[in-house]
Amino acid sequence: MIFTDEYINGIILKVEEASKNKDKDYFCSSRDVFQVRIDSYALGTSKYLESAIIGEIGNNTFDHNWDFAEGHARGTYLKLYDFENTVILADFGRGIRKSLERVYQAKDDKAALEIAFTQQISGRAPEQRGNGLKFVLENMQKKNWDLYFQSGIGCCIISDGIVTFKENNVDILGCLAILVFDGGKDEYTNK
Amino acid sequence: MNIQISKFGEILMSRPAGKDAFSMANAYIFSDLTPDEKIELDFAGVKVLTPSWADEFVTGIKKSFSNTIEFLNTDNESVEASLKVVLN
């Protein structure tokens, strides 16, 4: 399991620091900026399914958030290039549980994530949406790629093809996604 | 009627972009559609497709027209995976 507490909490700290510094190298403040970066990634790497997965997660930031936490950057954090196998996305928006609140009262963050990743449900009902995270889960699992997704204290983890929902001891604002695709080298562990 | 989806772009991702593509097609492409005509959506040349874009475009067609829809050149992984989600 690559997603140790130390690894995850290290990334949480780095993303928070980038957000507080409003670091434009990583934060896409609008959907257009995000789209350009993904276009460049897709065309530069030919990782098309990976790009679709990244696109689904990143666009959720703009589909479900108008305001972001005070003192934090607007939009979505996207870290793509340094080491190609690990892609990190994050935002400081309302998070999954609050996004679903209009249509589903989850008992906690973990329950909200379980619903979001396994059912067709969207906080933007009656619009017919809500397949994006299911698409992410199904394809990450099918390709045997690893995923760590956290919102609040709820986490969805795919590792070695197995999906688990659990709680982290560190509460986060918004959402954090760590996607580990084949090949390359991991920046944080240097392996 | 054959529609080359790549004319909307090689990388098709967001819901707003999918919605806009359908609106454009509705105004300028489907205006020539006859009731019994099959709609062929040809994905040749599309590199990245997400379920969000596909949902806005395909569901837009399904809601507006009862014509048969055929999906061509769907072998790109992201196209195949996204259409699977949208058509289920």
Q: Is A189 domain-assigned?
A: no
Q: What is the pLDDT, as a whole number, of residue A127? A: 63
Distance from CA of B34 to the nearest CA of A (A): 27
Q: Is A58 domain-assigned?
A: yes
Predicted TM-score (pTM) of this structure:
0.92
- The enclosing domain of A67 has a CATH number of 3.30.565
Q: Which residue of A has its CA nearest to B49?
A: A52
**Residue among A99, A111, A96, A118 nearest A166 (CA):** A111
Q: Is the model's pLDDT at A189 over the cut of 90?
A: no
Q: Which of A48, A61, A139 to mutate to test the interface with B (most CBs of B within 10 A)?
A: A48
Q: Is A188 domain-assigned?
A: no
Interface of B with A in 25-54 (CB under 8 A): 47-52
Q: Is A191 domain-assigned?
A: no
**Residue among A109, A124, A85 nearest A167 (CA):** A109
Q: Which residues contact A83 (CB under 8 A, 6 or more apart)?
A: A184, A185, A186, A187
Number of domains in chain A: 1
Domain interval for residue A64: 5-177
E strand intervals along A22-117: 27-28, 76-79, 86-91
pLDDT band at B60 (very low <50, low <70, confident <90, very high): very high
Question: Residue A124 has what DSSP assignment?
Answer: T
- ipTM of this predicted structure: 0.94
- Tell me: the pLDDT tens digits for A73-90? 999 999 986 566 899 999
Q: Is A184 domain-assigned?
A: no
